């Protein structure tokens, strides 16, 4: 809801927005890395707005806090609300957010240079090695990737054997017929269910450019065959409340299949929250994968400290650590690649997310046309 508040703030703040950011940028860009670190220690604290595994990240950043003596606060807040807050606060000279995690394609919905401090690429010691183009979005050096992830189908081997797994759309339709209510996916609170919806849409509606984010009513109307497919298979699947609800319920034996995030399931397994037996695969019609980036809002109060946190987070060491703890695809070339949950042979089925805002409209259309119908 804050997003819309933002429009108001935007109108009043536009004349001001350009001024303070470049001035501050000059300061940090004239410093060498030692001076930036010294400045960061001076600032002493940062607020990192991040939207998943906050409790686990509070554990992870202890190493950073010990190394630099900078206190990191990670508030609880969901991804959309965090972004809306950044938009709403753009009119303030100093906002509450120092560092913000964003989905890789989030920068398709706004201009990095309007909202973010940077580009960070020349400021970060490893800047040249880091990845600034992800999910089909080149953010021009403003937001390095720190988290690579993949959506897939998770299955519970206690309930379904590998041989029975559906791989094509026809398989899924047959599975839904013979196993009513045995697959779960969400539409709210997380992207794993929407990933499955998008995958089915891609497979059924081919004459749309999914890499083009423009959303027109005509384009959305073209998706109708996908909605027909979901309606025809209505008894086959159950809409769950969130990513996490799907995972909880496959763990309890309620579902044979769910749509899930590889990193979320691996992360929960490695911690011991859910059974290590749960396995994942990508169906042959593909499922989207990508990653998340991290950025500094233009009006961040503690920019130097934010920069040092981003350096630490994207470093080869931390990326190796994150791969070990959460099963992510590391985003630093020198980091050790993890062995994820998905077999290497399935990786070729990974697709790029549909560009936004059209990608968001696919989910909204599903909710309007299928679930609430």
Q: Which residues bind other proteins (CB under 8 A)?
A: 1-5, 7-9, 11, 47, 49, 51-52, 54-56, 58-59, 74-78, 80-82, 84-85, 88-89, 92, 96, 156, 158-159, 181, 187, 189-190, 238-245, 248-249, 251-254, 268, 271-277, 364, 368, 371-372
Comparing CB distances to other proteins, the nearer of 25 and 165 is: 165
Comparing CB distances to other proteins, the nearer of 2 and 203 is: 2
Who contacts 233 (Cβ-Cβ below 8 Å, separation ≥6)? Answer: 172, 173, 176, 177
Comparing CB distances to other proteins, the nearer of 256 and 311 is: 256
For the CB of residue 4, give the shortest distance to other proteins in the complex, in Å.
Answer: 5
Comparing CB distances to other proteins, the nearer of 265 and 335 is: 265
Q: Residue 48, CB half-sphere, CA atoms under 13 Å: how many? A: 29
Q: Taken in order 93, 96, 99, 101, is the CA torsion positive or negative?
A: negative
Q: Give the DSSP letter of residue 338.
A: P
Nearest in space to 278 (alpha carbons), one of 326, 330, 321, 342? 342
For the CB of residue 316, give the shortest distance to other proteins in the complex, in Å.
Answer: 25
- 3-state class percentages of the chain: helix first, strand second, coil last, to nearest 5: 50, 15, 35
**235 CB burial (10 A radius; 0-12, 13-18, 19+):** exposed
Comparing CB distances to other proteins, the nearer of 337 and 368 is: 368
Comparing CB distances to other proteins, the nearer of 39 and 89 is: 89
For the CB of residue 272, give the shortest distance to other proteins in the complex, in Å.
Answer: 3
Rounded CA-CA distance 279/269 in Å is: 10
Nearest in space to 123 (alpha carbons), one of 5, 30, 217, 261? 30
Rounded CA-CA distance 224/360 in Å is: 16
For the CB of residue 318, give the shortest distance to other proteins in the complex, in Å.
Answer: 18
CB of 141 within 8 A of CB of 296?
no
In the structure encoding, which two tokens stand for residue 116, read together? Answer: 């973010």
For the CB of residue 265, give the shortest distance to other proteins in the complex, in Å.
Answer: 12
For the CB of residue 119, give the shortest distance to other proteins in the complex, in Å.
Answer: 26
Comparing CB distances to other proteins, the nearer of 119 and 194 is: 194
Comparing CB distances to other proteins, the nearer of 59 and 209 is: 59
Rounded CA-CA distance 364/36 in Å is: 44
For the CB of residue 14, give the shortest distance to other proteins in the complex, in Å.
Answer: 13
In the structure encoding, which two tokens stand for residue 50, read together? Answer: 């991040």
Q: Taken in order 209, 210, 211, 213, is the CA torsion positive or negative?
A: positive
For the CB of residue 132, give the shortest distance to other proteins in the complex, in Å.
Answer: 25
């Amino acid at each position: 809801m804050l997003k819309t508040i933002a429009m108001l703030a935007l109108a009043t703040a536009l004349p001001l927005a350009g001024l303070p950011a470049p001035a501050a940028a000059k300061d940090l860009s004239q410093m060498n890395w030692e001076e930036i670190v010294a400045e960061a220690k001076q600032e002493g604290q940062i607020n990192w707005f991040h939207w998943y595994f906050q409790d686990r990240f509070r554990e992870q950043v202890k190493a950073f806090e010990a190394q630099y003596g900078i206190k990191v606060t990670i508030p609880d807040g969901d991804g959309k609300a965090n972004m809306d807050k950044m938009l709403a606060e753009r009119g303030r000279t100093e906002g509450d957010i120092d560092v913000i995690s964003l989905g890789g394609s989030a920068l398709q919905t706004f201009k990095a240079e309007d909202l973010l401090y940077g580009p960070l690429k020349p400021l970060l010691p490893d800047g040249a090695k880091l990845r600034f183009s992800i999910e089909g979005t080149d953010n021009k050096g403003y937001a390095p990737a720190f988290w690579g992830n993949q959506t897939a189908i998770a299955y519970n081997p206690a309930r379904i054997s590998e041989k029975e797994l559906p791989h094509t759309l026809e398989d899924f339709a047959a599975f839904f017929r013979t196993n009513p209510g045995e697959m779960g996916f969400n539409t709210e609170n997380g992207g794993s269910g929407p990933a499955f919806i998008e995958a089915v849409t891609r497979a059924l509606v081919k004459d749309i450019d999914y890499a083009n984010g423009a959303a027109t009513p005509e384009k959305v109307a073209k998706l109708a065959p996908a909605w027909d497919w979901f309606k025809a298979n209505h008894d086959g699947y159950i809409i769950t409340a969130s990513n996490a609800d799907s995972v909880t319920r496959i763990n309890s034996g309620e579902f044979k299949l769910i749509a899930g995030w590889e990193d979320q399931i691996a992360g929960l397994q490695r911690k011991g929250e859910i059974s290590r037996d749960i396995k994942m695969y990508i169906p042959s019609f593909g499922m989207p994968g990508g990653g998340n980036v991290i950025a500094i809002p233009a009006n961040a109060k503690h920019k130097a400290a934010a920069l040092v946190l981003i350096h630490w987070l994207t470093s080869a060491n931390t990326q190796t650590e994150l791969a070990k703890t959460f099963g992510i695809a590391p985003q630093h070339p020198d980091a050790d690649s993890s062995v994820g949950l998905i077999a290497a042979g399935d990786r070729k089925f990974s697709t790029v997310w549909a560009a936004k805002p059209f990608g968001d409209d696919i989910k909204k259309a599903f909710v309007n046309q299928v679930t609430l119908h």
